[in-house]
Structure 1
């Protein structure tokens, strides 16, 4: 006979969403993403809002240098 588990695991603990990124004011690409994010929020498209936030964060993230093989 095996020991069957009869209870459920506890629910996962989710943190609060990250703060929305505030891009520099002199970046045209980020300004476009901020406008796109505002339109998506107004339309209730939360997936697109998240995508814009990721793009804004990634746009000004320092690039890693590739190691030579």
Structure 2
């Protein structure tokens, strides 16, 4: 009889919620609009790409 190992449960490396664009930033605002237009077209690849760009877009931390 074969011995089976327990199933491996992997976590999702990305947060469940989409990033919120900083609408005070022209780049983030444009990405937010592009994401919504892509969602309307059901183009989830572009939605995902916009999410990555919004997450990676740098903003200076105000002190």
Q: Give the TM interval when normalised to the shorter protein.
A: 0.5 to 0.7
For the pair 1:53 / 2:61, whether they are aligned, the reply is no
The structure-2 alpha-carbon separation of the partners of 1:61 and 1:11, relative to structure 1 and needing over 3 Å to count, comes to farther
3-state SS of the aligned residue for 2:54?
helix
Q: How many residue pairs get matched?
A: 58
Q: So what's the TM-score if we normalise by structure 1?
A: 0.62
Q: Distance in 2 between matches of 1:61 and 1:18?
A: 22
| Residues 35-68 of structure 1 deviation map (CA, whole Å, 9 limit, x = unaligned) | 0000100000000000000000110278xxxxxx
Structure 1 residue runs of 4 or more that deviate by more than 2 Å after TM superposition: 10-18
Unaligned runs of at least 5 residues, structure 1: 63-69
**Distance change (3 Å), C-alpha of 1:45 and 1:11:** farther
What RMSD, in angstroms, separates the aligned Cα atoms of the two structures?
Answer: 2.6
**Of the two, which has the highest radius of gyration?**
1
Alpha carbons of structure 1 residues 61 and 54: separation in structure 2 relative to 1, 3 Å: farther
**Unmatched 5+ residue regions in structure 2?**
none
